[in-house]
Amino acid sequence: DQIGDAAKKLGDASYDFAKEVDWNNGVFLQAPGSFQPLKALKAIDKMIEMGAAADPELLKKAADAHHKAIGSISGPNGVTSRADWDAVNAALGRVVASVPKQKVMDVYDAVKDITDPKVPAYMKSLVNGADAEKAYQGFLEFKDVVAANQVTTASAAATVPTGDKIGTAAKALSDASYPFIKDIDWLSDVYLKPLPGKTAPETLKAIDKMIVMGSKMDGNLLKAAAEAHHKAIGSIDAKGVTSPEDYEAVNAALGRIVASVPKQTVMDVYNSMAKIVDSSVTNNMFSKVNPLDALSAAKGFYTFKDVVEAVQ
């Protein structure tokens, strides 16, 4: 297709730049400017809306392309192979083309809003400047091909199951865990702190398992889960906490996407996370909330998971 061909040209123009970026640099975990969680949530919300509007099949393929690309990483900077670099660009270009232009521009504008104007120049200073310019010229040509292939109307909303066992169980889980949700400091910057003692390549292994799980999920249910998050963001209070109803809808939606993949795929995520999340991290989280609320939430979760497993 045209986007695939254009991605090869983009690769010619951008792979030198890709090799020069230190993908293992811890700086990418930082907020791209001053820390503004509620504004950042708005930017994430725009990404969620874009994800929810995207063609689920193309999202799946983009996840597969990322998984494959992680498998061909080499060298100290963590760069993927030239062929996989092109394949990721092509897959993302197709995802972008599957949503109306405005959805993409909304992400761009919201991200710009939380990005210090000095950040791009700083990023450029870490690589060969001429190669960054070459990559950007390549991107400008690529985007015209994407725009020429872009849809003008959003895809239909997801079908949300009703009256299912997971939906019923989500009510009980949400009742048991909403007090815990209210105890959590959602606006803290602790969630942007590096995991103690873990390197980027180690962390990427766990992300890779999530990508694999995402790729296996039922596309309609994933879309529904994204829509539920978007709705939930719309009802947050000043402390970032969503309403009980929207929280319940998120739990139901997430339970359904978990049930749409094999158990082992979920356990692969859990086991890889357990390898990088030190017990000091969980204990620190626990120390900041009412322990009774956390235990009630945990009990609710362990009951919920049996319902999920039964329909998995």
For residue 156, the minimal CB distance to ligand PID (Å) is 13
Q: Rounded CA gap, 17 and 136, in Å? A: 10
Out of 31, 44, 123, 172, point to the residue binding ligand CLA (CB under 6 A).
Answer: 44
Q: Tell me: does residue 211 bind ligand CLA (CB under 6 A).
A: no
Select 162 or 279, whichever has its Cβ closest to ligand PID: 279
Count Cα atoms within 13 angstroms, Cβ side, for 25. Answer: 10
Choices 28-36, 95-103, 198-206, 295-303 (CB under 6 A): range interacting with ligand CLA: 295-303
Residue with smallest beta-carbon separation from ligand CLA? 225
Select 10 or 48, whichever has its Cβ closest to ligand CLA: 48
Choices 24-32, 101-109, 131-139, 225-233 (CB under 6 A): range interacting with ligand CLA: 225-233
For residue 170, the minimal CB distance to ligand CLA (Å) is 9
Q: Rounded CA gap, 244 and 299, in Å? A: 18
For residue 170, the minimal CB distance to ligand PID (Å) is 8
Select 151 or 298, whichever has its Cβ closest to ligand CLA: 298
Binding site partner of 311, from ligand CLA, ligand PID, none, Cβ cut-off 5-8 A by kind: none
What DSSP character marks residue 187? Answer: T
Out of 48, 70, 99, 104, point to the residue binding ligand CLA (CB under 6 A).
Answer: 48
For residue 199, the minimal CB distance to ligand CLA (Å) is 20
For residue 61, the minimal CB distance to ligand CLA (Å) is 18
Q: Rounded CA gap, 270 and 23, in Å? A: 24
Q: Give, as ranges, the residues between 229 and 288 that touch ligand CLA (CB under 6 A).
A: 229, 233, 251, 254
Q: CB–CB of 71/211 below 8 Å? A: no
Count Cα atoms within 13 angstroms, Cβ side, for 153. Answer: 3
- 79 three-class SS: strand
Select 23 or 301, whichever has its Cβ closest to ligand CLA: 301
For residue 15, with 0-12 CB atoms within 10 Å meaning exposed, 13-18 middle and 19 or more buried, which class applies? buried
Select 124 or 231, whichever has its Cβ closest to ligand CLA: 231
Q: How far apart are the first and last CA of the chain?
A: 37
Select 162 or 306, whichever has its Cβ closest to ligand PID: 306
58-96 b/e (C-beta count within 10 Å ≥ 16 → b): bbbbbbbbbbbbbeebeeeebbbeeebbbbbbbbbbbbb
Select 34 or 162, whichever has its Cβ closest to ligand PID: 34
Tokens representing 149 are: 């292939």
Amino acid letter, residue 275: K
Q: Rounded CA gap, 97 and 87, in Å? A: 15
Q: CB–CB of 235/242 below 8 Å? A: yes
Other beta carbons less than 10 A from residue 227's beta carbon: 20
Q: Rounded CA gap, 30 and 123, in Å? A: 13
Q: Tell me: does residue 169 bind ligand CLA (CB under 6 A).
A: no
Tokens representing 294 are: 């956390």
For residue 163, the minimal CB distance to ligand PID (Å) is 19
Q: How many chain residues touch ligand CLA (CB under 6 A)?
A: 15
Binding site partner of 177, from ligand PID, ligand CLA, none, Cβ cut-off 5-8 A by kind: ligand CLA
Which residues of the shown chain bind ligand CLA in the complex (CB under 6 A)?
A: 44, 48, 173, 177, 184, 225-226, 229, 233, 251, 254, 294, 297-298, 301
